[in-house]
Amino acid sequence: MSLRDLFGRRRKEDTGPEAAAAEAVASDAAAPTGHIGKYEIVEKIGSGGFGTVYKAWDPLIRRHVAIKTCEVGSKDVRNRFFREAQIAGGLQHPNITFVYEFAFEGDVPYMVQEFLSGEDLDRMIRRGANLSRQDKLKILIGIAFGLEYAHRAGVMHRDIKPGNVRVLDTHSVKIMDFGIAKSVDPVNDITLTGITIGSSSYMSPEQIGGDSIDFRTDIFSFGVLAYELLSSRKPFQNDNLFLLLEQIVKTEPTPLAELAPDLPPSLVALVERAMRKNPDDRFPSTRDLRNALVAVQQEVAPAEAAISGVLGTPLAATESARLQALERLGILDTEPEREFDDLAHLAAVLCGTPFALISFVDRDREWFKSRVGLSAAELPRVLAFCSQPVARDDSRTSPPRSGSRRTPWSPAIPGCGSTREPLSRPRTGSPSEP
């Protein structure tokens, strides 16, 4: 029996409304125009010098995917394509495009990625999309989050530009195309010999000069992208490639404040610092860049108000004191510790769940000290389960669970296999209802 036969068979109970809904989703995948591996091709959505991008349908998991092929026979190009799959496939973050699979159809390699709704940022800029200042800040912060995660994983993107950023319908963003990304591990570095790396208008001076580069090259490209997003104009423009590259290395662009006089000075200064010619004059890390962006967001419209608008509830009045205490604790971004990992695994066992987290929420993210069943190391605060601090009035003691099939043996639950006073009483807090 083939996998198609196995997954195509239905049980008797799979004939109700849920099955009808599943069929409706499947029917959305139009009649296939061909196949790549198990995937049914729906339509071609793009093509370039190296290959083609298709929208396809996964008939087993029942979801749309994007398939990128590499149709060039060059060994260097194929190595780069494979390396892109390796690098992007190892980065799992809400602001980076997920890679599901790498395989071959005949002798043509292909990569399967999540299919993204929305629109590329370069197209939005060209058509003058109606984006508020908060929308633009949200886009920039999302890019900074994704870059920060990639840098912490030891990966430089090296081709940050609006065309490699997808803006979803919610204005959240996904960084795409790690085709020329570079790992800090020199053994794994693949660069195309004789080909200029990076899209010209967004290249850093050190890239152009062939100097050694580090993560700050992405910060320069981010600054160019931010300049363009905020002013609708590229900072460096020339039809002659040589003169364009000379401009980037030697010439300062038109001051952003002249092109967008309504921008707050702090945001203008941030973009200018990111675009400094000397890497030492830029932000030392994307974490510092991201913190500066959040500070601007607080100035323009306080972060608490922005977050509350998403979550629908105000932050506790004690939030500032909690953040100060968290900073004094100094636990954020520390190395894993066995005690915390053991506690997370114990929580998963006691609760009978494949997921367990020990996390800390700071001003703009939830960071996981230990985790079970989750690959991401952090989430933006607006997406975090624990984005709101649990106040005393938000918690309650759960009733005895002695009859629960999930914890019939737990000594921590009243009446569960023990006559002693329980070690603790389970409590629930936000976002549970009291």
Lowest mean pLDDT among 44-58, 111-125, 188-202, 264-278: 188-202
Architecture of domain 25-114: 2-Layer Sandwich (3.30)
What's residue 254's pLDDT?
95
pLDDT in tens, 257-286: 999 999 999 999 999 999 999 999 999 999
pLDDT in tens, 65-76: 999 888 887 888
Mean of the per-residue pLDDT values of the chain: 75
Q: Domain map of the chain by residue range?
A: 25-114, 119-301, 319-428
DSSP code, position 176:
-
- Averaged pLDDT, 303-329: 57
- Averaged pLDDT, 350-365: 77
- Averaged pLDDT, 346-350: 80
CATH of 119-301 among 3.40.50.720, 3.40.50.880, 1.10.510.10, 1.10.357.10: 1.10.510.10
Question: pTM higher than 0.85, yes or no?
Answer: no
Instruction: Give the containing element (helix H, strand E) for 310.
Output: helix 303-311
User: CA-CA distance, 261 to 231, in Å (whole number)?
Assistant: 10
User: CA-CA distance, 376 to 149, in Å (whole number)?
Assistant: 9
Tell me how many helices (H) and strands (E) the chain has: 14, 16
Percent of the chain beyond pLDDT 90?
30
Query: Would the pLDDT of 322 be above 50?
Result: yes
Residue 299 CA: distances (Å) to CA of 126, 137, 294, 305: 28, 12, 9, 11
Taking the CB of residue 195, how many other CB atoms lie within 10 A of it?
10
Catalytic residue among 14, 28, 159, 364: 159
* CA triple 228-234-239, angle to 5 deg: 160
Can 159 be counted among the known catalytic residues? Answer: yes
